[in-house]
Structure 1
Amino acid sequence: MDMKKASWLLQNKGFKMTKRREDILAFFAKEDKYQTAKDLYEYMETTYPGISFDTVYRNLHLYHDLGILESTDLNAEKHFRMNCGDHHHHHFICNICGKTKKINLCPMDEVEKLLTKYMIDGHKFEVYGLCPTCQIA
């Protein structure tokens, strides 16, 4: 999702587009990787000294609830990234830097064949490891 679409979605749902909210979008739009609330807090505090962690969390969860951000759990901590598209796919996620790579196949294609009489509500498939850059470091 790009910043323009995210901004439109926020405003369409009745939320004001403030400078803080725009800066949060910019933070996630600039890098294609998962980041923590602490990463966002440290980024925001340089521009908004004294910003509360609660403000950061509220906005993260608002963006997540609206589908602007997607999330995953890495090392027992929630990480967020800009929603990366409308088509169905999965991700490889680097355990060190949080960078992602799309996986354009879905194991559910085979699983659905095994569960023909079951109603599936959803699924999540992620592969974790080290990206080429982090393997060298």
Structure 2
Amino acid sequence: MNMEEAIELLKEKGYKTTGRRKDILKFFAEADGYRTAKELIAFIEQKQPAVSFDTIYRNLHLFHEMGILESTELDGEKHFQIACAHHHHHHFICRRCGKTKEIDVCPMQDINNLLPGCVIENHKFEIYGICPQCKTA
């Protein structure tokens, strides 16, 4: 999803596209991989030093619920990135820098065979490790 699509979705759902929301979307659109709320707050504080943590977290939750952002948990902390809506895939996530690499393989066919009669409603498959750039650093 790109920034324009996210703004259009907000408008369709009746939400205002405030400057702060645009700044949040810009931060994630320019990020390479998953980022934390703390990183977002540091970015926003460069423009608006009196940023409210509650406002940031409310918007992160809203964007996640609307499918604008996807999230994962690394070391007990939530990380977010712009949702990838173009096709079904999973991610390799670097535990040091948060960069992601798409993985087009999905283990669900094997899982479905192992769970006959079950109705699987959703799934998430992620691989965590160290990317080549962080490995050599």
Q: TM-score, normalised by structure 1?
A: 0.97
What is the match of residue 45 of structure 1? 45
What is the match of residue 89 of structure 2? 89
Whole-angstrom distance in 2 between the partners of 1:57 and 1:118: 35
2:24 match: secondary structure: helix
Whole-angstrom distance in 1 between the partners of 2:62 and 2:50: 21
Report the alpha carbon displacement of residue 113 of structure 1 after superposing the two structures with TM.
1.5
2:84 match: secondary structure: coil
Alignment gaps of 5+ in structure 1: none
Report the alpha carbon displacement of residue 111 of structure 1 after superposing the two structures with TM.
0.9
4+ runs of 1 displaced by more than 6 Å?
none
Whole-angstrom distance in 2 between the partners of 1:107 and 1:120: 13
Q: TM-score, normalised by structure 2?
A: 0.97
Whole-angstrom distance in 2 between the partners of 1:100 and 1:12: 30
What is the match of residue 58 of structure 2? 58
Whole-angstrom distance in 1 between the partners of 2:59 and 2:32: 19
The residue type paired with residue 11 of structure 1 is K
What is the match of residue 69 of structure 1? 69
Q: How many residues align?
A: 137
The residue type paired with residue 87 of structure 2 is H
Whole-angstrom distance in 2 between the partners of 1:9 and 1:65: 12
The residue type paired with residue 19 of structure 2 is K
Answering whether residue 37 of structure 2 is matched by residue 16 of structure 1, we say: no
Alignment gaps of 5+ in structure 2: none
What is the match of residue 103 of structure 2? 103
Report the alpha carbon displacement of residue 109 of structure 1 after superposing the two structures with TM.
1.3
What is the match of residue 3 of structure 2? 3
Whole-angstrom distance in 2 between the partners of 1:57 and 1:29: 17
2:73 match: secondary structure: strand
Whole-angstrom distance in 2 between the partners of 1:26 and 1:109: 36
